[in-house]
């Protein structure tokens, strides 16, 4: 074996940002490609030590702990990334904002935020391929697969905790643009129907309006532009329920254009004739307090070409 390729002992010094994290979770992210079972085996055998002492998987790391990892060999599985190189390369150009603790990306429509449920490659996997040296890249929130726009990813655990707390306290403002069926009344500024997840016999999950057993939900709306047979609205979800904006639009008789779950077939036909071939729901902007500077940060995502061209092909309508 070539000496240069021979596995070597590795040392990691725990930074303050990682303090309080279980060692097994830390190693899963740090030792990329090493199976979880191997990490537990190495811990059990004492081949991973903290400050020269044996440790257990549930040990919570302290600032400046020194972790020693014995030489290990794993086969790097790069196939999932190599088959998606064009997607990975495209994501680089979709990064809207980035600093040392977070980044905001304009997520493309049709791309899941992470692998799972039959999807083995999502935005987070692509970003990790783009930033192989990043110790941590974690989703702060989620977007539906068909929805495009602002998606925040944390690069530090402290930023993730801070932003999750802001989400809980409703200190994060997310504005969406949606093209909906018909003429949305400027007087309809708030929808508050309760929502409940419902599993169909086919196994598909949909969300239905249920004001008795459903979760309390609220979306605020503002008309941006009326078109012949359609309206572009701005939606602000006060709560963050699954498919909230889509179902709230549908229940008021204004389903979103080309929505495969909650859409209107005839309306979708008209929109497809105008060149639209995807759900017209876009996370246009996000605003929050920056975890490090403590200043308000607002990031805006432009409409992709498909949405922008569809709007150009529609005839505007004057307010009545």
Please report, for the chain, the start and end positions of each structural domain, with discontinuous segments joined by +. 10-69, 83-158, 170-313
Q: Please, which contacts does 166-169 make with residues 24 or more away whose CB atoms are closer than 8 Å?
A: 166/288, 166/289, 167/140, 167/141, 167/240
Question: What is the pLDDT averaged over residues 9-35?
Answer: 84
219, pLDDT greater than 90: yes
What confidence tier does 72 reach under pLDDT thresholds 50, 70, 90?
A: confident
Summarize the confidence of residues 43-53 as an average pLDDT. Answer: 92
202 or 231: whose pLDDT is higher? 231
Q: Does the pLDDT at position 120 exceed 70?
A: no
Q: Is the pLDDT of residue 217 over 60?
A: yes
Residue 5: predicted pLDDT: 59
The pLDDT, as a whole number, for residue 320 is 53
Average pLDDT, the chain: 88
Q: What is the band of 119 on the pLDDT scale with cuts at 50, 70, 90? A: low
pLDDT at 35: 85
Class of domain 10-69: alpha beta
Residues designated catalytic: 144
Between 294 and 125, the more confident residue is 294
CATH fold of 83-158:
Pseudouridine synthase (3.30.2350)
Residue 268 is given by DSSP the state H
> What is the predicted pLDDT for the residue at 8?
83
Q: Is the pLDDT of residue 18 over 60?
A: yes
pLDDT digits (tens, 9 = 90+) for 90-103: 888 899 999 999 99
Q: Do 10-69 and 83-158 share a fold?
A: no
* 8 A C-beta contact, residue 131 and residue 125: no
Count other C-beta atoms under 10 Å from residue 94's C-beta.
18
Look at 133-137, 139-143, 144-148, 282-286 and tell me which has the smallest mean pLDDT. 133-137
Q: Give the pLDDT confidence score for residue 80 in this predicted structure.
A: 46
Give Cα separations from 187 to 175, 182, 220, 254, 267 (angstroms).
Answer: 19, 14, 11, 14, 23
Among 152, 175, 37, CA closest to 106:
152
State the average pLDDT over residues 177-188: 97
CB 104 within 8 A of CB 159: no
Residue 151 has pLDDT above 90, yes or no: yes
pLDDT of residue 77: 46
Contact, 196 vs 254, CB < 8 A? no
> Percent of the chain beyond pLDDT 90?
66
pLDDT at 230 over 60: yes
For residue 194, which of 175, 207, 179 has the smallest C-alpha distance?
A: 207
Fold of 170-313: Pseudouridine synthase (3.30.2350)
- 231 has a pLDDT exceeding 90: yes
For residue 103, the tally of other CB atoms under 10 A from its CB is: 21
Q: Which of 14-23, 73-82, 173-182, 243-252 shows the lowest mean pLDDT across its residues?
A: 73-82
């Amino acid at each position: 074996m070539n000496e240069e390729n021979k596995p070597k002992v590795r040392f990691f010094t725990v930074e303050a940002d990682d303090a309080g994290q279980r060692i097994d979770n830390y190693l899963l992210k740090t030792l990329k490609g090493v199976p979880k079972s191997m990490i537990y085996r190495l811990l059990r055998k004492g081949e991973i030590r903290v400050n020269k002492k044996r440790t257990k998987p549930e040990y919570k790391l302290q600032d400046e702990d020194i972790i020693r990892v014995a030489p290990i060999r794993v086969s790097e599985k790069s196939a999932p990334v190599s088959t998606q190189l064009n997607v990975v390369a495209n994501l680089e150009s979709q990064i809207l904002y980035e600093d040392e603790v977070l980044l905001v990306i304009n997520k493309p429509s049709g791309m899941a935020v992470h692998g799972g449920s039959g999807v083995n490659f999502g935005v987070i996997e692509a970003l990790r391929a783009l930033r192989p040296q990043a110790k941590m890249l974690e989703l702060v929130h989620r977007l539906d697969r068909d929805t495009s726009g602002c998606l925040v990813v944390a690069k530090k655990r402290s930023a993730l905790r801070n932003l999750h707390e802001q989400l809980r306290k409703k200190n994060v403002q997310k504005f969406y643009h949606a093209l909906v069926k018909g003429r949305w009344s400027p007087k309809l500024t708030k929808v508050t129907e309760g929502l409940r997840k419902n599993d169909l016999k086919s196994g598909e999950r949909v969300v239905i309006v249920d004001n008795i057993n459903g979760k309390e939900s609220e979306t605020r709306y503002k008309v941006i532009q009326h078109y012949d047979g359609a309206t572009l609205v701005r939606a602000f979800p006060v709560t963050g329920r699954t498919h909230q904006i889509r179902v709230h639009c549908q229940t008021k008789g204004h389903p979103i254009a080309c929505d495969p779950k909650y859409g209107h077939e005839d309306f979708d036909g008209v929109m497809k004739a105008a060149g639209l071939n995807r759900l017209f729901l876009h996370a246009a902007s996000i605003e929050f307090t920056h975890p490090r500077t403590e200043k308000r940060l607002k990031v805006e995502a432009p409409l992709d070409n498909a949405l922008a061209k569809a709007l150009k092909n529609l005839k505007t309508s004057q307010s009545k």
